[in-house]
């Protein structure tokens, strides 16, 4: 039999040098603060037009990575190329083409909505008339047109976040960096932000975001890396990651606190259960069919207080990879 032809990759390797559509490329990227290694030699590549996510718990190194990509934190070692240039030497030139939504809003609360955009646009050296023109369309885009002349201070958290997104677009950036775009927002406000970000993606803006919400990563990211302890522990599309690291379905069972451990032991005998995770408040059974697993558990004489069969999520991927929950 002839040898199999070498597998042709569907996408060009985004970490390989000199790919024209690779906007960000990192190899062995490392950031240390004294003895503490925040980012520990990671490799990734981000291509034009994609929405790329860094998913991980607090302290995983996501924000440190974002700050390096934002050219406001020089890497300790490794290689980082953004828009074809070295962030240490060409910081101002690169930043002129980036939009940044930082973790904290950094808005001037005593200025008006419009003044905040004016002040920020001037940092980029944009002419007043252009800033005025863009402000009108950007405020429309984030649904804040009617608040243009209001002070920022009394705006709701969701409105402030949308204003920061409008501000980050004032220089018509090629890449938008979002550090935890919806942390601290209520569910409705989050959905509005997601909707706006989704529209930006449709327009071809490259999005790079960090999040510790798996639903946010699933909603927005074409591709993501899971980070833990400064390292990348997995990479792929949300669907690929779930297929690779989890089962199609998960059965969640809750028991009375006293029965919890004992039930978990009995459940180990369950057929068709690939894996189980015993959490503080529930037992997760990883299986092909959640309802079937529940029936099998009942057949073993196990009666949970509540049960839920659901599809696997990135939360399960993270649990599998790190043994911890994202919120921990």
The residue (of 38 and 326) whose beta carbon lies closer to other proteins is: 38
Interface with other proteins includes 155 (CB under 8 A)? no
Locate all alpha helices (DSSP H) within 57-186, ordered by sequence: 62-69, 91-95, 113-123, 128-141, 157-168
Stretch that binds other proteins, among 96-104, 203-211, 247-255, 296-304 (CB under 8 A): 96-104
Segment holding 188, helix H or strand E: helix 187-202
For position 133 contacting other proteins by CB under 8 A, the verdict is no
> How far is it, in rounded angstroms, from Cα 171 to Cα 162?
16
Contact partners, residue 247, CB within 8 Å, separation at least 6 = 274, 275, 286, 287, 288, 312
Q: Is 77 in the site for other proteins (CB under 8 A)?
A: yes
| 253 lies in the binding site for other proteins (CB under 8 A) | no
User: How far apart (Å, rounded) are the C-alpha atoms in residues 165 and 255?
Assistant: 44
E strands within 18-85?
22-33, 36-47, 51-55, 77-82
User: Two tokens at 301?
Assistant: 């004489």
Q: Which is nearer to other proteins, 57 or 102 (CB)?
A: 102
Distance CA 31, CA 38 (A): 6
Q: Minimum CB separation from other proteins for residue 87, in Å?
A: 7
Binding-site string for other proteins from residue 27 to residue 56, where x marks contact by CB under 8 A and - marks none: ------x-----------------------
59 binds other proteins (CB under 8 A): no
Given candidates 108, 150, 222, 235, which one binds other proteins under the rule CB under 8 A?
108
| Residue 96 touches other proteins, criterion: CB under 8 A | yes
Bridging pattern class, strands 306-311 and 206-211: unpaired
For residue 275, give the 3-state DSSP assignment: strand
Nearer to other proteins, 80 or 251 (CB): 80
Q: For Cα atoms 218, 204, 69, give the angle at the middle one, nearest 5 degrees.
A: 70
Name which of 98 and 273 has its Cβ closer to other proteins.
98
Q: How far is the CB of 174 from other proteins (least distance, A)?
A: 8
* φ, ψ of residue 232 in degrees (nearest 5): -90, 120
CA 62 to chain centre: 9
* Interface pick for other proteins out of 19, 21, 32, 85 (rule CB under 8 A): 85
Closer to other proteins by Cβ: residue 87 or 158: 87
Is 137 a binding residue for other proteins by CB under 8 A? The answer is no
Which position among 32, 49, 118, 289 is part of the footprint of other proteins (CB under 8 A)? Answer: 118
- Spatial separation of the C-alpha atoms in residues 45 and 81, rounded to whole Å: 10
Q: Are 221 and 242 within 8 A, CB to CB?
A: no
Number of residues that bind other proteins (CB under 8 A): 49
When asked if residue 294 is in the footprint of other proteins (CB under 8 A), the reply is no
Q: Does 304 bind other proteins (CB under 8 A)?
A: no
Point out which span in 124-132, 194-202, 228-236, 291-299 binds other proteins (CB under 8 A).
124-132
Residue 153 in contact with other proteins, rule: CB under 8 A: no
Cα(161)–Cα(164) distance, rounded to whole angstroms?
5
Q: Which stretch binds other proteins (CB under 8 A): 66-74, 253-261, 299-307, 308-316?
A: 66-74
| Other beta carbons less than 10 A from residue 5's beta carbon | 6
How many other C-beta atoms can be found within 10 angstroms of the C-beta atom of residue 272? Answer: 13
Smallest separation (angstroms) from other proteins to the CB of 122? 5
Q: What residue ranges bind other proteins (CB under 8 A)?
A: 17-18, 33, 70, 72-75, 77-81, 83-93, 95-98, 100, 102, 104-111, 115, 118-120, 122-126, 171-172
């Amino acid at each position: 039999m002839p040898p199999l032809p070498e597998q042709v990759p569907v996408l060009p390797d985004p970490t390989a040098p000199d790919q024209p559509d690779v906007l960000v490329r990192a190899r062995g990227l490392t950031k240390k603060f004294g003895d503490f290694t925040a980012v520990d030699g990671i490799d990734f590549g981000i291509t034009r037009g994609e929405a790329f996510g860094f998913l991980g718990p607090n302290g995983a190194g996501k924000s440190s990575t974002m700050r390096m990509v934002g050219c406001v934190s020089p890497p300790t070692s490794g290689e980082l190329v953004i828009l074809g240039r070295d962030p240490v030497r060409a910081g101002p030139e690169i930043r002129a083409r980036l939009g940044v939504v930082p973790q904290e809003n950094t808005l001037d609360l005593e200025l008006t909505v419009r003044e905040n955009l004016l002040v920020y646009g001037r940092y980029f050296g944009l002419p007043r008339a252009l800033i005025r023109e863009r402000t009108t369309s950007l405020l429309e885009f984030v649904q804040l047109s009617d608040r243009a002349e209001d002070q920022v201070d009394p705006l709701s958290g969701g409105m402030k976040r949308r204003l920061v997104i409008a501000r980050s677009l004032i220089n018509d950036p090629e890449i938008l960096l979002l550090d935890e775009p919806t942390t601290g927002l209520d569910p409705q406000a989050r959905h509005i932000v997601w909707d706006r970000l989704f529209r930006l993606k449709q327009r071809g803006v490259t999005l790079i975001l960090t999040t510790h919400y798996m639903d946010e990563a699933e909603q927005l990211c074409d591709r993501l890396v899971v980070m833990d302890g400064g390292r990348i522990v997995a990479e792929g599309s949300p669907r690929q990651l779930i297929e690779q690291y989890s089962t199609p379905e998960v059965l969640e069972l809750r028991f009375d606190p006293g029965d919890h451990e004992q039930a978990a032991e009995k459940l180990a005998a369950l057929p068709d259960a690939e894996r189980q995770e015993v959490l503080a408040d529930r037992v997760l059974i990883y299986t092909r069919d959640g309802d079937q697993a529940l029936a099998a558990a009942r057949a073993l004489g196990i009666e949970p207080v509540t049960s839920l069969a659901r599809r696997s999520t990135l939360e399960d991927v993270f649990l599998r990879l790190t043994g911890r929950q994202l919120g921990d």
